[in-house]
Amino acid sequence: MTTSDPEEFKPALRFMPMPRDTNVYGTIFGGVILSWIDQAGFVEARRHAKCRWVTASIDRVDFRSPVKVGDLVRLLTRPHRSGKSSLEVEVRVEAERWENGETAEVTTARLTMVAVDEHGRPFPWNEA
């Protein structure tokens, strides 16, 4: 599946950051958000095949807006392209601001998820 007319983004995960997730500036650590992106990529991959998935790569991630304690963070996903044993997933991260309900675009990322067997070797997930 190479997507020329991409599917709509679907909700994958939601989080409410807590004070333990913050850096010295009072915003959420980028690494926490990267972890959520990785989890959302897995959720999308599992929608396509119930097998073992691992993250092979995450493309560049540019943070556009900070996330604050109390914001509701939404991670939305859609498949972008698939290969024999891989699925490229797009992830969009949004923060709904607790103080006014406005939505801020936090970042976007593209992950390559790979289906693996019990020995960690890639295998064709379309046959799973």
Looking at the 3D structure of the chain, how many domains does it have? Answer: 1
For residue 31, tell me if it sits in a domain: yes
The gap from C-alpha 121 to its chain's centroid, in whole angstroms, comes to 23
Residue 72 counted as domain residue: yes
Q: Classify residue 41: in a domain, yes or no.
A: yes
Residue 3, in any domain of the structure: no
Residue 20, in any domain of the structure? yes
Tell me if 1 is assigned to some domain. Answer: no
Mean local confidence (pLDDT), 24-34 = 95
Structure confidence at residue 125 (pLDDT): 85
The answer to whether residue 44 is domain-embedded is: yes
Residue 2 included in any domain: no
Q: How far apart are CA 115 and CA 123, in angstroms?
A: 6
Instruction: Using the predicted structure, report yes or no on whether residue 3 has a pLDDT greater than 50.
Output: no
| Domain hosting residue 50, numbered range | 10-127
pLDDT number for residue 104: 97
Which CATH number goes with the domain that contains 82? Answer: 3.10.129.10
47-101, pLDDT tens digit by residue? 999 999 999 999 989 999 999 999 999 999 999 998 899 999 999 999 999 999 9
Count of CB atoms situated within 10 Å of the CB of 79: 19
Predicted TM-score (pTM) of the model is 0.91
Q: Which tokens in the block code for residue 7?
A: 């599917």
> What is d(CA 36, CA 83) in angstroms, rounded to the nearest whole number?
24
